[in-house]
């Protein structure tokens, strides 16, 4: 799909490092010709994101902590000034307290539950609301990242599984809400990858090993696999697909265990 997105613009929330799913998406979209904006949350992340952005032609880097409404508004104001319009938004943000990703789900604190929901699920709606004026009528595409823990019990995934379930419901409601405005909304349910966020899940390595043993394709996935799926959902090839969760997990989701 070389040059399939020439002249298009996009913004990606959630790039952390070269192992992150968001970076796989950024590379695929950029290689197809899309001009991108990358965001970072907090000064600690800024240098790494700017270094990565140097590999993406004509990209820009903007600060955005999705728990701060003023920063969310500001990033889209800047996008409007720099890009003029927006074709794709990639939401690859999730967070839960490390203590809530081990032990019993019933022990999740109220504050832990609320922060997981705010960052991992509500933020999609907040970003979509701000993006709509730039995306309306452009056959735009909003893409978010989820995981099988939204519909099955995954050991230690706990509160994040509940947040991902809310995220997927949000995808369906946003798809209905934004469809008349010419914007599609979909999710990619990626198999587990050794990312920064996954490192907080207790015994994550055993999950990776199990999937490689029992998935129909007998292997784990790569960030490139997810990036290619993101490219498809951002391209005209998927213009009639919305409200859908696309599994990119070597087929593991069809298995009983």
The predicted-structure confidence for 174-183, as pLDDT tens digits, reads as follows: 999 999 999 9
What confidence category does residue 3 fall into, taking pLDDT thresholds of 50, 70 and 90?
A: confident
Q: State residue 208's pLDDT score.
A: 79
User: Directed axis angle between helix 110-117 and helix 158-178, to 10°?
Assistant: 40
Residue with tokens 């019933």: 106
Give the helix ranges, DSSP H, for 88-200. 110-117, 123-135, 158-178
CA 174 distance to own-chain centroid: 15
Average pLDDT value for residue range 14-23: 94
Per-residue pLDDT reduced to its tens digit, 129-161: 999 999 999 999 999 999 999 999 988 899 999
Q: What is the pLDDT of residues 222-240, one digit of tens each?
A: 999 999 999 999 999 999 9
Residue 45 confidence (pLDDT) above 80: yes
Q: pLDDT tens digits for 61-95?
A: 999 999 999 999 999 999 999 999 999 999 999 99
The reported pLDDT for the residue numbered 195 is 59
Residue 5's pLDDT is: 96
Q: If one looks up domain 9-250 in CATH, what number appears?
A: 3.40.50.720
| Residues contacting residue 68 through CB under 8 Å, at least 6 positions apart | none
Q: What is the mean pLDDT of residues 92-116?
A: 95
Confirm if 28 and 227 have CB atoms less than 8 A apart.
Answer: yes
Structure tokens at 163: 């947040």
Q: What's the confidence (pLDDT) of residue 102?
A: 87
Rounded to whole angstroms, how far apart are CA atoms 90 and 58? 18
Which are the catalytic amino acids?
A: 147, 157
Residue 150: its pLDDT value, please?
97
Quick check: helix, strand or coil at residue 11?
strand
Distance CA 161, CA 147 (A): 8
Rounded to the nearest integer, the mean pLDDT of the chain is: 93
- Measured distance between the N- and C-terminal CA atoms of the chain, rounded to whole angstroms: 35
Per-residue model confidence (pLDDT) at position 210: 84
Kind of pairing, strands 35-40 and 60-63? Answer: parallel
Calculate mean pLDDT across residues 52-63. 97
């Amino acid at each position: 799909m070389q040059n399939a997105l020439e002249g298009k613009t996009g913004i990606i929330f959630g790039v952390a490092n070269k192992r992150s799913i968001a970076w796989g998406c950024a590379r695929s979209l950029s290689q197809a010709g899309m001009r991108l904006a990358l965001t970072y949350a907090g000064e600690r992340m800024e240098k790494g994101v700017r270094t990565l952005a140097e590999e993406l032609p004509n990209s820009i880097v903007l600060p955005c902590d999705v728990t701060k409404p003023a920063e969310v508004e500001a990033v889209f104001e800047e996008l409007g000034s720099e890009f003029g319009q927006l074709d794709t938004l990639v939401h690859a943000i999730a967070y839960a307290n490390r203590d809530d990703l081990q032990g019993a789900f019933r022990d999740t604190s109220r504050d832990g539950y609320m922060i997981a929901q705010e960052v991992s699920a509500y933020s999609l709606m907040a970003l979509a609301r701000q993006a709509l004026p730039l995306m309306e009528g452009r056959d735009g595409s909003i893409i978010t990242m989820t995981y099988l823990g939204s519909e099955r019990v995954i050991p230690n995934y706990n509160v994040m599984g509940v947040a991902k379930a809310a995220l997927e419901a949000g995808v369906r409601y946003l798809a209905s809400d934004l469809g008349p405005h010419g914007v599609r909304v979909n999710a990619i349910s990626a198999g587990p990858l050794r990312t920064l966020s996954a490192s907080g899940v207790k015994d994550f390595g055993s999950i990776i090993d199990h999937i490689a043993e029992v998935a129909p394709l007998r292997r784990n996935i790569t960030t490139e696999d997810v990036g290619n799926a993101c490219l498809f959902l951002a391209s005209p090839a998927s213009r009639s697909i919305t409200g859908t969760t696309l599994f990119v997990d070597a087929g593991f989701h069809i298995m009983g265990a």
